[in-house]
Chains A and B, each alone.
Chain A
Amino acid sequence: MPENRRVYLDHSATTPADPRVVAAMLPYLTEKFGNASSVHGFGQEARAAVDRARREVATLIGARANEVVFVSGGTEANNLAIRGVCEAAEAHGRHIITSAIEHSSLRGICEALEKRGWEVTRLPVYENGIVKVEDVQEALRPDTVLVSVMLANNEIGTIQPIEEIGSLVRSERQKSPRNIWFHTDAVQAAGRMELNVETLGCDLLSLSAHKLYAPKGAGALYVRRGVRLAPQNLGGHQERERRAGTEGVPGIVAFGEAAKLARQEMDQRAAHEVRLRNVFEKGVNERVDDIVFNGDPAGRLPHVSNISFRFIEGEGLLISLDLQGIAVSTGSACSSGTLEPSPVVIALGRNDELARGAIRFSFGKDNTEADVDYVLELLPRVVEKLRQLSPLNKLRKLEPVSVE
């Protein structure tokens, strides 16, 4: 085994740009550098490329091209969706329904709205990490203007019942015509499962390019025709007045190419990732005791595996693996003597120890079986070494793990 082997198992954080995506993008950094808003030939060349990319991104999610607003990434898409809808609908009500396991950007936006007097209902997830549609139904109020539930979770990969929530919101709107919209954050799900905004029944949907083998810096918000959205970037006519600022043409072109490849290769990528994940999870289960798998085993994205290792702390495991060239991530953060255990793992009803010991392994299209073998060889050793140094190790085998 070569000493400097590197295995990247953090594709939920970001992905490398696909060489085909880079090739599509490069001309727009140099000879085709025009501003897409310019009237001359340079500008028109850039405009045409942005329009092509818009069609590709729209096709990936079954939308019309003019319903796609390009932004800088998933966080901006979420900001534009939530703040844009809330600002426009404020006169009709100030209540939002969301879930307890949203991405930190959604959490941050909701907290900021609460400070300004909005009320936020955070739906629980159960041990499987999935929201119940009945809970959405129960949380709906006459002053609810927005429901935002992510399509698939970024830490445990669980897929939420978006179609059911979508039809619930739609029927609510039909019952008494009013401003109530449904947003879903599809940043993790896009390119990893079939997405169609009509089937999903969502009014807004967030996407990010760099989770799809394109560079960082581009994203998109799908905005269904008829949704009232207050722009959050002002001072320009770009993106049909919904997002002022010169379009990041190279990043958008890359996003379009990546969306096309994701659509064409989705099935084979997903099958590959599931195969690797199955080998990985079976191997970990055989070689490491006192572990708990987090998230619904069946209802989750193909590439995510989240495991809590008892008696040790995720950050120690992360750094130990990093020193061996293996990149993973943890949802917990220990900082300035305060610990923020992963809110997602806590929402599953796990205790602090399991939340602290949770690690996310996320596979990608370029991982190989040799990568999995390497991790399976090192992981048990690294876990054992940390456990030998843990004062909690004495609890081993004494208490049964109370979940699953």
Chain B
Amino acid sequence: MPYSQIFKNHFENPRNGGELKGADVVAEETNPVCGDRLRLALKINEGTIEAARFLAYGCPPVLVCGSALTELIQGKTTEEALLVTRKQLVAAVGGLPLRKQHAAALAIETLRSAIENKKSGGKPTFPT
């Protein structure tokens, strides 16, 4: 299937790409099979995600999912963010071919890992 307009828009104009100065938590997850890599940095204030930034290495869906994920979670509490599903993320990027669904799974995994890290004392998995 060809990529959607929403997908292309995220790919051409990624939202919230880059490092985040003063991040409370940073998580970087890789897909060990294909080597895709997503890094997510969050600024969390009283349980609310105030800012999110991502970096991505991998095929375009990884980058697009990173971009869409930051938009989905900014302003949400960490509890609310944990409820974001892979399906919702796929919908937010305008759909993904079956063989590219793993990109959304990686994004959700990275988000959960970041929030879990925050809960367990906020120690970043990677230095910012």
- Do A and B interact with each other, yes or no? yes
Contact A390 B56 (CB under 8 A): yes
* B23 interface residue (CB < 8 Å to A): no
Q: Which residues of B contact A392 (CB under 8 A)?
A: 37, 57
Q: Which residues of A contact B18 (CB under 8 A)?
A: 388-389
State the CA gap A353–B28 with chains docked (Å). Answer: 17
* A271 interface residue (CB < 8 Å to B): no
By beta carbon, the residue of chain B nearest A356 is: B35
Q: Which residues of B contact A313 (CB under 8 A)?
A: 57-59
Shortest beta-carbon distance from A66 to chain B in Å:
46
Q: Which residues of A contact B56 (CB under 8 A)?
A: 389-391
Interface residues of B in 9-63 (CB under 8 A from A): 11-12, 14, 17-18, 28, 31, 33-39, 54-60, 63
How many residues in A have their beta carbons less than 8 Å from beta carbons of B? Answer: 24
Given contacts A320-B11, A336-B98, A337-B102, is CB(A390)–CB(B57) below 8 Å? yes
State the CA gap A360–B76 with chains docked (Å). Answer: 43
* A296 interface residue (CB < 8 Å to B): no
State the CA gap A393–B37 with chains docked (Å). Answer: 12
Counting residue pairs across A and B whose Cβ atoms lie within 8 Å, the total is 67
Query: Which of B14, B28, B105 contacts A389 (CB under 8 A)?
Result: B14
Contact A334 B8 (CB under 8 A): no
State the CA gap A392–B37 with chains docked (Å). Answer: 9
Q: Which residues of A contact B54 (CB under 8 A)?
A: 389
Q: Which residues of B contact A334 (CB under 8 A)?
A: 34, 36, 58-59, 100
Contact B59 A337 (CB under 8 A): no
Q: Which of B11, B12, B57 has the most CB of A within 10 A?
A: B57
Contact A312 B57 (CB under 8 A): yes
State the CA gap A182–B33 with chains docked (Å). Answer: 38
Interface residues of A (CB under 8 A from B): 311-313, 315-316, 319-320, 323, 334-339, 352-353, 356, 386, 388-393
Interface residues of B (CB under 8 A from A): 3, 8, 11-12, 14, 17-18, 28, 31, 33-39, 54-60, 63, 98-102, 105
Sort A-B residue pairs by CB-CB distance and give the 8 closest, nearest first.
Answer: A337-B102, A339-B34, A391-B55, A335-B99, A334-B59, A391-B39, A315-B59, A336-B99
